[in-house]
Structure 1
Amino acid sequence: MIHRLDSTRFEQLKASGDLPSPRGVALAIMRLTQQDDVSMAELTRVIRSDPAFVGRLVKAANGIVAMTRRPVVSVQEALMVLGLPAVRTMALGFSLLSDHRKGSCHGFDYQAFWAGSLAIALAMQVLAQRKRAGAPDELFSVGLLARVGELALATLYPGDYAQVLSEQRRYPELRLSDLEHRAFAMTHLDLGAAMLLDWGLPGLLVDAVRLHETPERSGSLPGSRDYVLVHLLALATQIAELCMAAAADHAQLFAALCAGAKRLDLVPGELVNVCEQVARQWVEWCDSLQLRHAAPPDFAALLGSGEAAAAPPVAVPQPCSDAEPVHKSAAAPAAAEELRILVVEDDAALRAQLIGLLAEAGQRVCEAADGRAGLERALEMQPHIMLVDWAMPQMDGMELIRALRATRVGRGIYILLLTEHEEDERLIEAFEAGVDDFLGKPLKPRLLSARLRAGLRVVRLQQELERDREEIRHFAAELAVSNRRLQEVALTDALTGFPNRRYAIDRMQQEWQAATRSGRPLSCMVIDLDDFKQINDRHGHDAGDEVLRAIADALRSALRGQDVICRTGGDEFLVICPETELNAALVCGERLRAAVDALHRVVAGEHLRLSISVGVAMREAEMVDLDALIKRADQGAYRAKQQGRNRVITVQHAAGGARS
């Protein structure tokens, strides 16, 4: 059954602040891309402030231009390849990945979730290039976020969702979405679709996300775009499942995958090529993002052992189109970085002679018989060097060169003009049009070789320069990451892993200002460890450190998702509770107290009873600054100790007044 989430309920979930949402640079990118007049320079500046996202953006762009263009190496090129909508959605997806690598839902495998989402994204990208169902960059983003509803449920209801997942593992014949609907009156599909619509994804793509787990119920007409999108996402999900499955399940999953591929007219051999391409990129992505992944299956072996083995694998397309062959010497060794040369010549005999000479030198050579075909081929394959005849039908050499130099792709090509005109004025015209060198007709093989060597030197120098730039960019990115890690170390308590006092004051100030602007509640807790000095004095500081770590783990496990706990002193902690009323904060404090009270530690044969005293306070209108709020919470902790320790106290008026 297909469900739709009531808009009122979604707004309530959204208002809670617990739904996964973009932060930092991703939020800035999303806001910028919503503006009609945003400049590429401004967007590039914002993106460059996050070196990790820069790397992922460039990697995603190269996944799209692979085999058709030279690699993307800059943010601006990536923006041109991907476009603003895709960049916006990728920023969102990778922001969620960074912020939700782990969480409090113990039954939810966060690593497997993101590894699977990446596999779906890459499969969507590759399938989009094959089936032309949409922009590959846009479908990459849809695949990355297709399962975001599962992450949202794990974040909103960690304990309950863990039980749902446990039940689904016990009874695999039950559909996860049915169990979710029974537990929460909504499913990951309808919650995810509501989130994607709220983030601005097109309705057609959102419908594909909502329906892809039951594509047979979509009601779309075969061949229509919505039919293709739904089945494309369903097939991408199957590919991801196969990549991550145990070896014992490979054969069964591959048979189901072949059945799904038939709905999109993908023959088994072509499907294998898709899967192998996805698997290669998936392993690279997971390694770069430090995500755990399984070893992908041998798809060719699965095909050979299955019923679909009758169809031979389809060769992966080369940069030149099928209409024109790739010429390369069989004896030529494979170069570390092979140069691409395009010959544009209408004389078939001369074209064959040029191709023969170049292929003997071990170069990769493509050809075009007129200027218009040469322009299309150049934009498609992005050659390093072009040999262009001046006089040709359709479009002569000068028109071709001017058209190329007007494009970003064409400006970097080394162009050698073939001409019978060697008058000074004609050659000056050619150089002004953008020619790098010329060669007179009839052809002189030794002179051609010399001119090509000169061109190759220029191309190699350009490549070395680009590699140097890439190394500098890589070093700058590593330096930025190192600086960020150093900053994290400076703000982190080494013993407990909690943020330290410096971070606590900065974060408290931020939350105070936000609460002041919005009028929403803000509470905090001061936690003192009871009799901790006696543990240190009696058993030594090593035992004290062990007790501190155990208490920190207990506090961490009992905290809500939005709360922030910091170690502000030797045995003192501060908990910041945004958008929390006093009574709710008291309930949270009691949960923390109970978690520590349940701990049992034996040190040097002595059973230690561990407990904490908790003071709770909420921001009030008459409080002048955050110090007043913290002081109220500190007074509560002091009173808790006076009243016998191991209790939660507030000095403010609240229902119940105190808890112990």
Structure 2
Amino acid sequence: MQNLIDIKRFEQLKGTGELPSPRGVALAIIRMTQVEDVSMGELARVIRGDPAFVGRLIKAANGLVGHERRAVVSVHEALMMLGLPAVRTMALGFSLLSNYRKGACTAFDYTRYWSSSLLMALAMQALARPVRAMAADEAFSVGLLARIGELALATLYPVEFGRILTAVRHSAGVRQADLEREAFALDHCALSAAMLADWGLPEIVIRAVRHFEQPATARLRENSREHALVQSLVLSRAVAQICLAEESEHAALMPAMLRLAARLGVSREHFVAACDRVASDWVEWGRLLQFETHAAPRFEMLAGLGEQGETAAPAAGAEFAQAADASAPAAPDAGAQPGSLRVLVLAADVAERQRLRQALEQDRLTVFEADSGSQGIEAVVDLQPHMLLVDWQLQDIAGIDVIRSLRETRLGRTIYMLLLIPSEDDFLLEKVLDAGADDFVARPFRPVLLASRLRAARRMVGMQLELEREREEIRRFAAELAISNRRLEEVAMTDALTGFPNRRYALDRLQQEWIAVTRNLRPLSAMIIDLDGLKQLNDAHGHDVGDMVLRQCADALRGVLRAQDVICRTGGDEFLVICPDTDLGAACHCAERLRAAAEALRIETGGPQLRITVSIGVAARDGRTGSLDALIKCADRGSYLSKQRGRNRVSALQREADGD
């Protein structure tokens, strides 16, 4: 009944047209990915229309790069790595981040909201591999959008929602969700779930987002995939809270995080390393997204403090501590141990399943059961067990066929499988091994023999997990190395004084644009900008003042350029502007704006206030500029002509030759 009320209320809110929604290129991406026959090339062309999204997409893809792969550097590679569903959701999330950085709700901290959401995204991505609740690329987007309902309420009801946030901060024991339901007929969790459903996210994600802030209300089966997803969201939000909390609160928040990580089967070592990586990536993402971050806590040190004993959780962490404890099972199975290996038993006979369970639990394994092949395959997808013990004949299918089917899947290839066979017949054993089973247990099984087989299985699974941890370390090192390489590439392509791309980048980019316009017969223009009298300023006031002039003039030029234009510093007092899809008339109009911006600039030096002007030459690709060199030379001669005619002007030789 409550869900029906929530849906009806959401439809009313959606009808206002004021809910946060994607715009521009992101909206085009979302629409294109809903078309079945869309090509990667078409999608890549649309994505390249938003350079900011290009950078974010490639960075997200590099978060998934394995040790055997080089860093992703192109849009096409990122699309192949992430897949269309993840790209669609990322476009949605980053569009909302770009367009809703600020708002009218004064009590809602927009910067903290997005910073927390980004931390949740990175934490969900880091937890995806060890927890295996969902793919890492999807997990990033789910973390980023899990609390979108709060942003929506701040957008729809800035005054009323602000009063609720203020009341929650100043009144102990008041629950935000209760006040929201009273004021708006639904809370932000329900609104988040409804918005994600409307955007086409999977049902399991919608349910997890609906309940992760109050996991006890979900009534989920322990160790199910949905249960793991809810707990991952709880833990991801805790990572975000501890990164944003005051230093005095860190030690009190850590113990609950370690408990929940253990319940998810994530070792302390892996979890702490993942948290440190999340904190490092958060700072990198902050630079890319242009919002302020700060030095995150060192989780290795906090983990040591957390093991010494738990103190009372501060107010900022009380909500998480309650959610973490609420997500814990009330009465865990006797065999269940934090981080223990999961075993799925598929057998038709109830009594035999019980005997197998007893033997397995004595070996401290966490046991799950199913009596048919169809249920077993569903349970494998849901539980993602480490080991599988299958009876020779199930209710609906032969056990050997279950093993054969699972071995054809990516998930099934990682599971250690034992088959319970009628006897140690050589013909049966050959069939067992051919089907892909790792080992067998003959009937009637003896507990001692089963224990021996399990020891071998545990060694093999342990080696697989250790190998995965080593691979994760290599992936982490490769990711760090890729970041370092990209930084070196950026340094090699960037002018340190102005932050503009340098001459090397300019020539490479101009070559790319030339090839593109030659193939597609689109217009292309270029400008050469010379600062007038910079040498005289340097001689009169010194090079420090000259650097101030360059920096402030560069900022003024950047401020009036169009989004598609690329400006580079190619020499001491020279800039090159690349204008894709721009004819000569439009380029001259743009150049005049640049000239006027420089002329209007008042340069602050801490001493005298200086003025500067620029001389600009403009050229466009046509029959007279049949090569890239000819285009640049034509623009350069235009700049020289502007200086000859008294400076502070725009000249285009092609326009003058045509008599314009």
TM range (shorter): 0.5 to 0.7
Give the partner amino acid of 1:409: L
* Shift in CA distance, 399/317, structure 1 to aligned 2, threshold 3 Å: farther
Selected match of 1:644 from 622, 643, 646: 646
- RMSD over equivalenced CA pairs, Å: 5.6
Q: Is the 8 A contact 2:93 2:144 kept in 1?
A: no
Instruction: Indicate yes or no: 2:174 matched with 1:248.
Output: no
* Shift in CA distance, 21/643, structure 1 to aligned 2, threshold 3 Å: farther
2:560 matched residue in structure 1: 558
* Shift in CA distance, 256/401, structure 1 to aligned 2, threshold 3 Å: same
Q: Is the 8 A contact 1:500 1:568 kept in 2?
A: yes
* Shift in CA distance, 347/618, structure 1 to aligned 2, threshold 3 Å: closer
2:87 matched residue in structure 1: 91
2:370 matched residue in structure 1: 368
Report matched runs for 1:166-181 at 5 Å. none
Q: Deviations over 1:604-642 (max 9, x none)?
A: 743322222222333332222233333333233223323
SS of alignment partner, residue 623 of structure 1:
coil
* Shift in CA distance, 248/357, structure 1 to aligned 2, threshold 3 Å: farther
Report matched runs for 1:12-23 at 5 Å. none
Instruction: Indicate yes or no: 2:630 matched with 1:628.
Output: yes
Q: Is the 8 A contact 2:363 2:451 kept in 1?
A: no
2:257 matched residue in structure 1: none
Q: Is the 8 A contact 2:103 2:155 kept in 1?
A: no
SS of alignment partner, residue 388 of structure 1:
strand
The structural deviation recorded for 1:425 is 3.4
Q: TM-score, normalised by structure 1?
A: 0.59
Q: Deviations over 1:62-100 (max 9, x none)?
A: xxxxxxxxxxx999xxxxxxx999922533665798999
Selected match of 1:466 from 460, 465, 468: 468
Q: Is the 8 A contact 1:269 1:314 kept in 2?
A: no
Q: Deviations over 1:304-347 (max 9, x none)?
A: 9xxxxxxx9997699xxxxxx974437x5x23xx3111123344
Say how many residue pairs are matched: 496
1:211 matched residue in structure 2: none
Selected match of 1:534 from 533, 536, 539: 536
Q: Distance in 1 between matches of 2:440 and 2:154?
A: 52
* Shift in CA distance, 569/431, structure 1 to aligned 2, threshold 3 Å: closer
The structural deviation recorded for 1:475 is 3.5
1:54 matched residue in structure 2: 61
Q: Is the 8 A contact 1:30 1:88 kept in 2?
A: no
Q: Distance in 1 between matches of 2:154 and 2:524?
A: 43
Q: Is the 8 A contact 1:593 1:648 kept in 2?
A: yes
* Shift in CA distance, 551/254, structure 1 to aligned 2, threshold 3 Å: farther
2:214 matched residue in structure 1: 272
* Shift in CA distance, 489/116, structure 1 to aligned 2, threshold 3 Å: same
The structural deviation recorded for 1:574 is 1.3
* Shift in CA distance, 433/504, structure 1 to aligned 2, threshold 3 Å: closer
The structural deviation recorded for 1:298 is 7.4
Q: Distance in 1 between matches of 2:415 and 2:28?
A: 43
Q: TM-score, normalised by structure 2?
A: 0.59
Q: Which runs of 5+ in 1 are unaligned?
A: 5-12, 36-46, 60-72, 76-82, 126-134, 147-231, 305-311, 319-324
Q: Distance in 2 between matches of 1:269 and 1:516?
A: 55
Report matched runs for 1:180-191 at 5 Å. none
* Shift in CA distance, 31/520, structure 1 to aligned 2, threshold 3 Å: same
1:505 matched residue in structure 2: 507
Q: Is the 8 A contact 2:529 2:616 kept in 1?
A: yes
Q: Deviations over 1:489-536 (max 9, x none)?
A: 222111111111122222223333434444443322221111111222
More divergent stretch after superposition (505-514 vs 391-400): 391-400
Report matched runs for 1:418-429 at 5 Å. 418-429=420-431
Q: Distance in 1 between matches of 2:321 and 2:507?
A: 60
SS of alignment partner, residue 536 of structure 2:
helix
2:602 matched residue in structure 1: 600
Q: Is the 8 A contact 2:599 2:611 kept in 1?
A: yes
Q: Distance in 2 between matches of 1:116 and 1:656?
A: 58
The structural deviation recorded for 1:365 is 1.0
Q: Is the 8 A contact 1:100 1:110 kept in 2?
A: no
* Shift in CA distance, 439/459, structure 1 to aligned 2, threshold 3 Å: same
Selected match of 2:488 from 475, 486, 500: 486
Q: Deviations over 1:365-396 (max 9, x none)?
A: 11223455434423432221122333554334
Q: Is the 8 A contact 2:528 2:576 kept in 1?
A: yes
Q: Distance in 1 between matches of 2:212 and 2:510?
A: 57
Report matched runs for 1:313-328 at 5 Å. 327-328=333-334
* Shift in CA distance, 355/20, structure 1 to aligned 2, threshold 3 Å: closer
2:391 matched residue in structure 1: 389
Q: Is the 8 A contact 2:117 2:147 kept in 1?
A: no
The structural deviation recorded for 1:463 is 1.9
2:307 matched residue in structure 1: none
Q: Is the 8 A contact 2:416 2:461 kept in 1?
A: yes
2:244 matched residue in structure 1: none
Q: Distance in 2 between matches of 1:116 and 1:30?
A: 36
Q: Distance in 2 between matches of 1:85 and 1:627?
A: 37
The structural deviation recorded for 1:587 is 2.8
* Shift in CA distance, 603/458, structure 1 to aligned 2, threshold 3 Å: closer
Give the partner amino acid of 1:424: D
1:8 matched residue in structure 2: none
SS of alignment partner, residue 335 of structure 2:
coil
1:380 matched residue in structure 2: 382
Give the partner amino acid of 1:356: Q
The structural deviation recorded for 1:577 is 1.9
Report matched runs for 1:425-436 at 5 Å. 425-436=427-438
Give the partner amino acid of 1:248: T
Give the partner amino acid of 1:260: L
Instruction: Indicate yes or no: 2:335 matched with 1:329.
Output: yes
* Shift in CA distance, 298/279, structure 1 to aligned 2, threshold 3 Å: farther
* Shift in CA distance, 139/19, structure 1 to aligned 2, threshold 3 Å: closer
The structural deviation recorded for 1:447 is 2.9
2:275 matched residue in structure 1: none
Q: Distance in 2 between matches of 1:568 and 1:615?
A: 14
Q: Is the 8 A contact 2:616 2:651 kept in 1?
A: yes
SS of alignment partner, residue 610 of structure 2:
strand
Q: Is the 8 A contact 1:276 1:299 kept in 2?
A: no
Selected match of 1:523 from 511, 522, 525: 525
More divergent stretch after superposition (579-588 vs 601-610): 601-610
Q: Is the 8 A contact 2:417 2:439 kept in 1?
A: yes
Give the partner amino acid of 2:551: R
Q: Deviations over 1:444-483 (max 9, x none)?
A: 3333222211110011112222333333344344434433
Q: Is the 8 A contact 2:525 2:618 kept in 1?
A: yes
Q: Distance in 1 between matches of 2:102 and 2:439?
A: 66
SS of alignment partner, residue 500 of structure 2:
coil
Q: Distance in 1 between matches of 2:409 and 2:525?
A: 58
Q: Deviations over 1:349-368 (max 9, x none)?
A: 44333323332433211122
Q: Distance in 1 between matches of 2:591 and 2:110?
A: 28
Q: Is the 8 A contact 1:614 1:640 kept in 2?
A: yes
Give % identity: 43
* Shift in CA distance, 236/511, structure 1 to aligned 2, threshold 3 Å: same
Q: Is the 8 A contact 1:636 1:649 kept in 2?
A: yes
* Shift in CA distance, 384/600, structure 1 to aligned 2, threshold 3 Å: same
Q: Distance in 2 between matches of 1:144 and 1:556?
A: 34
